[in-house]
Amino acid sequence: MQRIGVTGGIGAGKSLVCQIFECLGYPVYNADAQAKKLMVENENLKRRIIDLFGPESYLPNGEYNREWVGQKVFADKQRLQALNHLVHPAVHSDANKWFENQSTPYALYEAALIIEGGRHDMFDAIICVTAPEQLRIKRVMKRNGFPREKVLDRIENQSTDQEKRKYCHFEIINDEQHFLIPQVLNVDKIILGTSTFIG
């Protein structure tokens, strides 16, 4: 079974593309959603996060204090890297177990930081979902209610589309002008070996 990474900057539309693959019958591991789960349920990871940021990292009910930690890490790239060095290995270990339990010709791993985390070599192929930056900013502001400056901060902590393309085998353009479904079907055919055209 092939392992396919799906990446792209914030607001590019990774989840939408993955939903189309799911409609075709392919399972998707959402790294961000699983990371949130592991940060609460994995006691070793939880303890190390508290060691790094203090007891305020978790609310009295045991939930991860995302807003408080977020304020710490996005003002300090070194602390963000330290947090990623804790969370990413736990997620990758969990993902490996998940992949081993899949039985389709390929399964997908959705994550924004595949390239930045230096994990591109763990996949048989990588799909990069791209969109113009101004459109991405508009989407995230609408979706998350973030001010423009906060979205720009997130974008600055991610690699550019140009940098991602160096490692990606496929690009799916989500600019509201190119149709997504034909692009996904084309990638599916190539991965399955029924087509050699990359459009």
- Phi/psi region, residue 173 (left: phi>0; alpha: psi -120 to 50; beta: rest), is beta
Question: Looking at domain 1-27+106-199, does it have CATH number 3.30.70.380?
Answer: no
Q: Mean pLDDT in runs of 10 for the chain (199 residues)?
A: 95 96 97 95 95 94 92 83 91 95 96 84 94 95 92 87 93 96 96 63
Task: Specify whether the CB–CB gap between 167 and 126 falls below 8 A.
Answer: yes
Domain locations along the chain? 1-27+106-199, 31-101
* C-alpha–C-alpha distance, residues 111 and 14, integer Å: 8
Residue from 152, 81, 88 nearest 120 by CA: 88
Q: What is the DSSP letter of 56?
A: G
* Backbone φ and ψ of 72, nearest 5°: -75, -45
pLDDT of residue 117: 72
pLDDT of residue 141: 95
Query: Cα torsion at 182, 184, 185, 189 (round to 10°)?
Result: 140
Residues near 87 by Cβ (< 8 Å), separated by ≥ 6? 35, 38, 39, 45
Coil, strand or helix: which one is 72?
helix
* C-alpha–C-alpha distance, residues 101 and 49, integer Å: 29
pLDDT of residue 198: 44
